[in-house]
Amino acid sequence: MKALVYRTSGKGHGRPSWEDQPHPTIQHAEDALVRITMTTICGTDLHILKGDLPTVTDARILGHEGIGVIEKIGTGVTGFKVGDKVIISCVTACMKCDFCRKGMLSHCRNGGWILGNLINGTQAEYVRIPYADGCLYHVPKDGNEEAMVMLSDALPTGFECGVLQGNVKPGDTIAIVGTGPVGLAVLLTAQFYSPAEIIVIDLDDDRLAIAKKFGA
Ligand SMILES: [Zn+2]
Ligand SMILES: [Zn+2]
């Protein structure tokens, strides 16, 4: 299969390389094999290529967001079947460890952010998803893939880290620094909590124009 692979020069910086790679296989009973139909380039991928994430080593297939169709499942997967269309969460969660049981999935002792980091990721024709029951979500019938893929990472990151951690309340004045995908996700989801005023800050006029359209 074709995949986008991280190649490092050994001097910190890396480069993306479009390569033939072995088709992934089921390794554990809780695995699913997903044929990717849509993926993204996240800001995190750009950090990886700049050499900011030493956990990502040479030959890693990049990508931690995506939509796909289940091609194979392990014998321990109960919530999904072959042919199901799914959203892949950027966070792998076993749903059994102490952190998962507290709802802190990104701290999972057996997962966390590992896709496209410690294990091969979604910028490929196929990806192996460990603990499939904990990190796949069904795509609703007639769900728009371009919209749904935002749920893999960008939209929930903006909502959880910006709006929930920022404790946005009715009547608040809030400022969002940066109107990339995560900033725009904060802008959209902050409006669930009726702030009085939302100010966005960015150097890019086109991004600011979009932010204004979205309620800034
Ligand atoms: Zn991401
Ligand atoms: Zn866990």
Whole-angstrom distance, CA of residue 71 vs CA of residue 179:
36
Q: How far is the CA of 102 from the centre of ligand 2 (A)?
A: 9
- pLDDT tens digits in sequence order for the chain, 216 residues long: 999 999 987 676 889 999 999 999 999 999 999 999 999 999 999 999 998 999 999 999 999 999 999 999 999 999 999 999 999 999 999 999 999 999 999 999 999 999 999 999 999 999 999 999 999 999 998 889 999 999 999 999 999 999 999 999 999 999 999 999 999 999 999 999 999 999 999 999 999 999 999 999
Residue 203, number of CB atoms within 10 A of its CB:
8
pLDDT for the residue numbered 7 = 95
Q: Look up the CATH number of domain 2-152.
A: 3.90.180.10
Residue among 29, 43, 61, 65 nearest 137 (CA): 65
Judge contact between 38 and 149, C-beta under 8 A. yes
Q: How far is the CA of 161 from the centre of ligand 2 (A)?
A: 20
Domain boundaries, the chain: 2-152, 156-213
Strand arrangement of the beta sheet that strand 32-39 belongs to? 126-129, 32-39, 66-73, 85-88, 136-138
Is this prediction's pTM over 0.85? yes
- The Cα diameter of the chain in Å comes to 54
Q: How far is the CA of 57 from the centre of ligand 2 (A)?
A: 24
* Phi, then psi, of 42 in degrees rounded to 5: -90, 155
CATH architecture of 156-213: 3-Layer(aba) Sandwich (3.40)
Domains 2-152 and 156-213 share a fold: no
Q: How far is the CA of 96 from the centre of ligand 2 (A)?
A: 5
Judge contact between 13 and 49, C-beta under 8 A. yes
pLDDT for the residue numbered 203 = 97
Instruction: List the structure tokens of 88.
Output: 């892949």
Residues around the ion ligand 1 (C-beta < 5 A): 42, 44, 153
Q: Do the bridges between strand 14-20 and strand 2-8 make them parallel or antiparallel, or are there none, so unpaired? A: antiparallel
Q: How far is the CA of 78 from the centre of ligand 2 (A)?
A: 17
pLDDT for the residue numbered 83 = 97
Q: How far is the CA of 211 from the centre of ligand 2 (A)?
A: 36
pLDDT for the residue numbered 13 = 81
Torsion from C-alpha of 148, 106, 202, 185, nearest 10 degrees: 30
